[in-house]
Amino acid sequence: MNTTLDDKIRATETLLSGLLETVDPSSVRVAWTGGKDSTVVLYIWKALLDHHGLGPIRAINLDTGCKFPEILAFRDRLAAEWSVDLHIVRPIVDLKDYPLAVDKLACCRDLKVEPLKRAVRETGASHLLTGIRRDEHPDRADRQPMEERDDPAHMMVNPILDWTETDIWAFHGRFDLPHCELYDRGYRSLGCQPCTEKPGESGGERSGRDQAKERSLKTLTSLGYF
């Protein structure tokens, strides 16, 4: 059955409102990449916290050391504007000698998965809100709104799973959300610089991502990534 964007917004708000009724919001973090999808989650969660006087909003950001400078600038600007309590975590490897993007799985594990686990531990997060969507990758088709994770123990919450790329941009337009300028240049999905380029005209949303890494997404999820 087709659902409208309004239906999806209500479903997302219902999920997150239920979370507010059962969890201390200070233990909830948004996994905010600075991308279009997690910015929607950040905005909705912030609106709920503001409505109940339970701010500030808390978020985790993974700075792999090879992100686009535009996404970092956008992150810092919006974090200041929205008063985000932002925990930025970086990999412990020395990038000067690290073989970036040679072994895609090992690179993502060292620069993303392990730092994410460390950030959850450092912040004491019991719940991590993500911006993943089922339609953006086949390996995410069977993901669930609430997923228990261990190492460290926490609940991964995926509140916009049923949204589409069109829904995301419609929401951005409706609420005048800011976004990174790279989207205006033709990028549709933003990752690290070595593994991200503009998609071709006939390519899908994530066709600009390194395809060897894309084929490893289910493995990365099993290791602890969102």
Domain boundaries, the chain: 5-223
Identify the pLDDT of residue 1. 55
* 48 and 196 Cβ atoms separated by less than 8 Å: no
Per-residue pLDDT of the chain (226 residues; tens, 9 = 90+): 569 999 999 999 999 999 999 999 999 999 999 999 999 999 999 999 999 999 899 999 999 999 999 999 999 999 999 999 999 999 999 999 999 989 989 999 999 999 999 999 999 999 999 999 999 999 999 999 999 999 999 999 999 999 999 999 999 999 999 999 999 999 999 999 999 999 887 788 998 887 877 888 888 898 888 9
Identify the pLDDT of residue 74. 98
* 145 and 156 Cβ atoms separated by less than 8 Å: no
DSSP per-residue string spanning 48-77: HHHHHT----EEEEE--S-B-HHHHHHHHH
Exposure string over 119-143, b if 16+ CB within 10 A, otherwise e: bbeebebbbbbbbbbbbbbebbeeb
The CATH number that domain 5-223 falls under is 3.40.50.620
Q: How far is CA 56 from CA 2, 47, 108, 131, 137, in A?
A: 35, 11, 30, 19, 32
